[in-house]
Amino acid sequence: MSGGPELSPERSRGFNMATPWADAGRGGVRAGRAARLVAVRTVLAHLHTHARARARLTMEAKELRPQGFPELKNDTFLRAAWGQDTDYTPVWCMRQAGRYLPEFRETRAAQDFFSTCRSPETCCELTLQPLRRFPLDAAIIFSDILVVPQALGMEVTMVPGKGPSFPEPLREERDLEQLRDPAVAASELGYVFQAITLTRKRLDGRVPLIGFAGAPWTLMTYMVEGGGSSTMAQAKRWLYQRPQASHQLLRILTDTLVPYLVGQVAAGAQALQLFESHAGHLGPQLFTKFALPYIRDVAKRVKSGLQEAGLAPVPMIIFAKDGHFALEELAQAGYEVVGLDWTLAPEKARERVGKNVTLQGNLDPCALYASQEEIQRLVQQMLNDFGCQPYIANLGHGLYPDMDPEHVGAFVDAVHRHSRLLRQN
Q: Which of 58, 10, 66 is nearest to 33 (CA)?
A: 66
- Per the annotation, the verdict on 108 as an active-site residue is yes
Q: Which member of 41, 108, 301, 350 is catalytic? A: 108
5, 70 contact by CB (below 8 A): no
Half-sphere exposure of 270 (CA within 13 A, CB side): 32
The active-site residue out of 65, 95, 118, 206 is 95
Which is catalytic among the residues 144, 255, 297, 341? 144
CA gap 203, 20 in Å, rounded: 15
Task: Please say if 13 is a catalytic residue.
Answer: no
Return the closest-CA partner of residue 197 out of 116, 298, 99, 270: 270
Closest CA to 254 of 201, 185, 187: 185
Active-site choice (11, 99, 251, 377): 99
Contact of 265 with 211, CB cutoff 8 Å: yes
Strands 316-320 and 337-339, sheet pairing: parallel
**Does the active-site annotation cover 100?**
no
Number of neighbouring beta carbons within 10 Å of residue 221 = 23
d(CA 236, CA 221): 8
Q: Which residues pair with 369 in a beta bridge?
A: none
Q: 333: which residues sit within 8 A by CB, 6+ positions away? A: 292, 295, 296, 299, 318
Q: Show contacts of 338-344: CB within 8 Å, 24+ apart.
A: 339/273, 339/394, 340/396, 341/396, 341/397, 342/395, 342/396, 342/397, 343/396, 344/396
144 is catalytic: yes
Burial category of 249 from C-beta neighbours within 10 Å (exposed 0-12, middle 13-18, buried 19 and up):
buried
For residue 401, is it left (φ>0), alpha (ψ between -120 and 50) or beta? Answer: alpha
Distance of CA 333 to the CA centre of its chain: 16
Enumerate the active-site residues: 95, 99, 108, 144, 222
